[in-house]
Homo-oligomer: A and B are copies of this chain.
Amino acid sequence: MPAKARTDRNTATRERILDAAERLFAEHGVHEVSNRQVAEAAGQGNTAVVGYHFGTKADLVRAIVRRHTGAIEAAREEMVGRVAGSDDLRDWLDCLVRPTFDHMGTLGTPSWYARFGAQVMTDPALREILVDEHLGSPFLVRILDGLHACLPSLPPAVFRERGDVARHLLVHVPVERERALAEGAPTTRATWADTATGLVDVLVGVWLAPVTTTPDHETTDQERP
Contact call B168/A198, Cβ cutoff below 8 A: no
Q: Which of A126-164 contact B (CB under 8 A)?
A: 157-158, 160-162, 164
Contacts of A168 in B (CB 8 A): 168-169, 172-173, 176
Contact call B220/A188, Cβ cutoff below 8 A: yes
Chain A residues touching B, range: 35 or more
Stretch at the interface among A47-55, A72-80, A97-105, A205-213: A205-213
Contacts of A13 in B (CB 8 A): none
CA distance A212 to B200 in the complex (A): 9
Nearest B residue to A194 via CB reads B214
- A158-B198, A164-B176, A207-B205 in contact; A215/B190 too (CB < 8 A)? yes
Contact call B173/A165, Cβ cutoff below 8 A: yes
Q: Which of A68-117 contact B (CB under 8 A)?
A: none
Q: Which of A172-207 contact B (CB under 8 A)?
A: 172-173, 176, 179, 183, 186, 188-191, 194, 197-198, 200-207
20 pairs, CB–CB < 8 Å, chain A vs chain B? A28-B29, A28-B31, A29-B29, A158-B198, A161-B198, A161-B202, A164-B173, A164-B188, A168-B172, A171-B172, A186-B220, A190-B215, A190-B217, A194-B216, A198-B217, A200-B212, A201-B210, A202-B209, A203-B209, A208-B209
Chain B min CB distance to A28 (Å): 6
CA distance A189 to B219 in the complex (A): 10
Max chain B CB contacts within 10 Å: which of A186, A204, A206, A216? A206
Nearest B residue to A29 via CB reads B29
Chain B min CB distance to A39 (Å): 19
Contacts of A216 in B (CB 8 A): 189-191, 194
Q: Taking the complex as formed, is A223 at the interface, i.e. its CB lies under 8 A from any CB of chain B?
A: yes
Contacts of A2 in B (CB 8 A): none
Contact call A212/B197, Cβ cutoff below 8 A: yes
Contacts of A171 in B (CB 8 A): 172
Nearest B residue to A199 via CB reads B165
CA distance A165 to B171 in the complex (A): 12
Chain B min CB distance to A8 (Å): 36
CB-contact partner of A32 in B32, B158, B207, under 8 A: B32
